[in-house]
Amino acid sequence: MHIITLGTVQKGGIDSVIQGYIDNGLFDNKKHTRIGTHAGKNKWHDLYLFITALFRLFYLCMVEKNIILHCHMSYKGSFFRKLLFIGVAKAFNHKSIVHLHGSEFKDYYASSSRLRKKLILWLIKSADEFVVLSDSWQKFILSIANRKTLVINNFVDIEKKDLKRKANQILFLGAFIQRKGIFDLIEAVSNLPGDCHLHICGAGENEKVQELTNQLGVNASITNHGWVNSEQKRQLLSECSVFILPSYNEGLPMVIIEAMACEIPIISSPVGGIPEVIVEGETGYLVDPGDVDAITNKIRYVLENDIQVTAKAKDYYLEHFSSKTVLPKWERLYISLLNPHSC
For 283-307, the pLDDT digits (tens) are 999 999 999 999 999 999 999 987 7
Instruction: Return residue ranges of the chain for CATH 3.40.50.2000.
Output: 2-154+323-342, 169-320
Return the closest-CA partner of residue 130 out of 114, 115, 109, 151.
151
Q: Taking 80 as the threshold, does the pLDDT of residue 102 lie above it?
A: no
The CATH architecture assigned to 169-320 reads 3-Layer(aba) Sandwich (3.40)
- Kindly report the average pLDDT of the chain as a whole number: 92
Q: What CATH number does domain 2-154+323-342 carry, 3.40.50.150, 1.10.630.10, 3.40.50.9100, 3.40.50.2000?
A: 3.40.50.2000
Terminal C-alpha separation, the chain:
16
Report the pLDDT value the prediction gives residue 342, as an integer from 0 to 100: 57
Query: What is the C-alpha separation between 253 and 179, in angstroms, rounded?
Result: 13
Query: What is the C-alpha separation between 88 and 83, in angstroms, rounded?
Result: 9
Edge-to-edge strands of the sheet including 129-132? 31-36, 2-7, 67-73, 95-100, 129-132, 150-151
Q: Taking 70 as the threshold, does the pLDDT of residue 206 lie above it?
A: yes
Provide the whole-model pTM: 0.76
Where is pLDDT greater, at 340 or 84? 84
Question: CB 331: neighbour CB atoms within 10 A?
Answer: 13
Phi, psi of 9 (to 5 degrees): -110, 10
pLDDT confidence bin for 343, thresholds 50/70/90: low
User: b/e for 304-316, b at 16 or more Cβ within 10 A?
Assistant: eeebebbeebbeb
Return the closest-CA partner of residue 182 out of 147, 148, 218.
218
Query: What is the C-alpha separation between 18 and 1, in angstroms, rounded?
Result: 18
Q: What is the pLDDT of residues 131-181, one digit of tens each?
A: 998 888 899 999 999 999 999 988 888 889 988 999 999 999 999 999 999
Q: What is the pLDDT of residues 224-247, one digit of tens each?
A: 999 998 899 999 999 999 999 999
Question: Cβ-count burial of 92 within 10 angstroms (0-12 exposed, 13-18 middle, 19+ buried)?
Answer: middle
Please report how many Cα atoms fall inside a 13 Å half-sphere around the Cα of residue 308, on the Cβ side. Answer: 2
Query: What is the C-alpha separation between 268 and 264, in angstroms, rounded?
Result: 12
